[in-house]
Amino acid sequence: MSKHQEEKQKELRVVVLGKRQTGKTSVIDTILGTSATEELVKREGPIDGRRVSLVETPGWWKTFSLNDLSNICKQQLVLRLSLTSPGPHVVLVVVRADRTFTDSDGKFLEEYVELMGANIWTHTLIIFTRGDLIQRKHIEEHVQDPESALKRLIEKCGDKYHVFNNSNHHDRTQVTELLDKIEGIVGKNNGRHFDIDLDKVKEVNERWEEVQTKANSRKHGVQNQRSIVREKAYVHHLEEVRVVLLGWILSGKSSAGNTILNRDAFDIGGRTGERLRGFGDVDGRRMTVLDTPGWWKYFASQLNPDFIRSAILRNVSECKKFPHALLLVIPADTSFQEEQRRITEENMSILGEDVWRHTIVLFTWGDRFKDVSIEQHIESEGEALKWLIGKCRNRYHVFDNTDKKNRAQVSELLQKIDEMAAENSLFRLDTHTHTHTHPEDLVTEIRLKDVCHFLDEGFKRKAEEIRKKIENLCMDIMEEHLNLDERSSMSSPLNLEDESPDSQEEVFIPPQQDNIPEPIKSLLEREFSRWESIIIEGVRESLLDIKSSFELSQDEKRKKTEESVQKWLKNCRHYVEHTVDKIRENPLIRDLKIQ
């Protein structure tokens, strides 16, 4: 054996994969026994006679579905994987031991891992982080529970998993045990690594080079366009600025409004459908921000509750003066394809064709793309998003809603509004030119009252699932550091009953599942799964805030927990009820047999 072959034999290539904030970087730190002074995608070091290289892949935040993951996230996974060429020996899938692992988490993770290839599982091991925050027996219980999503995931990996205490990087015993398990995986695969699809890597690399070129061109083009406006038009520093927030439900509109005003003017996750306004002084200007109820992300505009259209029109028309800008809010970490383009165009059309001249696309959650530009995201996502940006005359902006102290992002948005106002007169509402879409475009071979029932019953089932998951989440988060009596108190079910008022509703015969096309089932499941993911994340953040409060008694913490959960569930119920009512009350929609 040559020296080169011997060195290659001693090389161990590892990919580290997982959701954001699961501790991927900490895993690498613990394995190598060092902490990087800067963010590095690939790190290397000698361990027990082997040269180990570890590649950290980009994480994700919300587990809706793989279809809703942005193209750039998928591209970055392939590009990072290529850094292990000719392929990794092992993939470490990182899961936090101290967080509830849901069915949607498991389904998304399985699909995401298989983006690398269907045969990847024989090279995969689950690594639990934060093992010091939860008892080992609790992890074992989850792993052995036949109904748990964790058990199914670990079975995909051949029952291979490991637990890390990331808070103690000096504990080399846990690293030695991990390396022994990795050696076992390599041995079981006869020393072979996972073969990367080189044709796919080549295709993605070529596409990425094209994206970078077009992104740079777009960025320079927008800068030149803004320069021309400042030169040709008198850009007046508006003393009073009025903006309206538009977009699909749970897109980050309220967070954006709070970022603009630098205070919690809008309740995150609160009841939507009411007229919400926020006022404040921003950069020495009087600022008015109007939040509007969002539309369904996946449902065509005909299925929107009536309060959405009326609230949007009322907020715009009842403004003492018309708004200077309409901010169309879109999360930067989600896919925007032809489906979203069509639905967005339908919903924006209620304000008239002139609406686009006064609209700026505001991307939220820009902090989730620290290593790529928004222009790269636009070019990667494809024609639908580029069409939208073009309709808005290349006006777009990015917010990091987690950094409200970053006032520069708000100042720059106001500058863009100044420039847009200099080009245009004030926005004037025109409700006579909006286009109508036909119910025939919605679905095929299904009565919409069946969709209505499926929507109503589907929400009830999903709400019950969410309640159970939140009860488990509450126990996981709130149980720590409690005494025996307090744990006994927390073990009783939360009071999460739906408090919707009783109503005399038409009784529908449940539709046969076989009569509902798979695309419709999938559509409804995507919408509810999106709500579930956001609700659970929102409740988790609320629970952590409640838990950290030393001023509250256990009963007070429990009450605040229930209120936090009810707030999110009531908002979802509000949308479902009004959507159902619309279908039931409109005979043209209700009784239509769609061909």
Residue 289 β-bridge partners? 243, 278
List b or e across 254-293, with b for residues whose CB sees 16 or more CB atoms inside 10 angstroms. Answer: bbbbbbbbeeebbebbeebbeebebeeebeeeebbbbbbb
With respect to residue 218, please indicate whether it lies within any of the assigned structural domains. no
Contacting residues for 271 by C-beta, under 8 A, at least 6 apart: 567, 570, 571, 574
Tokens standing for residue 250: 């749970």
Q: Is residue 294 part of a domain?
A: yes
Query: What range does the domain containing 352 cover?
Result: 239-436
Residues in the chain: 595
279 and 192 share one domain: no
* The total number of structural domains that make up the chain: 3
In terms of domains, do 390 and 449 share one?
Answer: no
Going through 236-387 in order, the beta strands assigned E by DSSP cover: 240-246, 276-282, 285-291, 325-331, 359-364
Whether residue 102 sits in one domain with residue 64:
yes
3-state secondary structure of 64: coil
pLDDT for residue 503: 37
Question: Is residue 230 in some structural domain?
Answer: no
Q: Are residues 282 and 364 in the same domain?
A: yes
pLDDT of residue 251: 87
Whether residue 398 lies inside any domain: the answer is yes
Residues whose CB is less than 8 angstroms from the CB of residue 369 and which lie 6 or more positions away in sequence, other chains included: 72, 332, 333, 377
Q: Is residue 324 part of a domain?
A: yes
Looking at the structure, tell me whether residues 93 and 144 fall in a common domain. Answer: yes
Whole-number pLDDT of residue 45: 92
Q: Is residue 1 part of a domain?
A: no
DSSP string, 122-144: GGEEEEEE-GGGS-HHHHHHHHH
Report d(CA 29, CA 43) in Å as an integer: 9
Predicted local confidence at residue 584, as pLDDT: 58
224 domain-assigned: no
pLDDT of residue 443: 39
Residue type, position 196, single letter: I
Taking the C-alpha atoms of residue 88 and residue 113, their distance in angstroms, rounded to an integer, is 13
Residue 204 belongs to a domain: no
- Claim to verify: residue 354 and residue 465 sit in the same structural domain: no
CB-based burial label for 50 (10 Å; 0-12, 13-18, 19+): middle
Domain boundary, last residue among 410, 436, 462: 436
pLDDT of residue 422: 86
Residues 417 and 520 in one domain: no
Structure token digits, residue 459: 């929400």
86 and 182, same structural domain? yes
Could you tell me if 542 and 575 lie in one domain? yes
Residues 552 and 582 both lie in one domain: yes
Domain boundary pick from 436, 461, 494 = 436
pLDDT of residue 338: 93
Written as tens digits, the pLDDT of the chain (595 aa) is 444 444 445 789 999 999 888 899 999 999 998 887 777 899 999 988 889 999 999 888 766 678 888 899 899 999 999 999 999 999 999 998 877 787 878 888 999 999 998 899 999 999 999 887 766 777 777 778 887 888 899 999 999 999 988 677 677 889 999 999 999 999 999 999 999 999 999 999 999 999 999 999 999 999 999 998 888 777 788 889 999 999 998 888 988 999 999 988 887 655 554 557 889 999 999 999 999 888 888 877 777 777 778 778 877 776 556 788 999 999 988 899 998 999 999 999 988 888 999 999 999 877 766 678 999 999 999 999 999 999 999 999 999 877 777 899 999 999 999 999 888 765 666 655 444 444 344 333 345 555 556 566 666 676 677 777 777 767 666 654 443 344 444 444 455 554 444 333 333 334 344 445 566 667 777 777 777 777 777 777 777 777 666 677 777 777 776 776 677 667 767 766 666 665 555 544 444 333 3
428 & 492 share domain: no
Q: What is the CATH number of the domain that holds 31?
A: 3.40.50.300
Q: Are residues 489 and 431 in the same domain?
A: no
Domain boundary (405, 436, 467) is at 436
Q: Report the amino acid identity of residue 478.
A: M
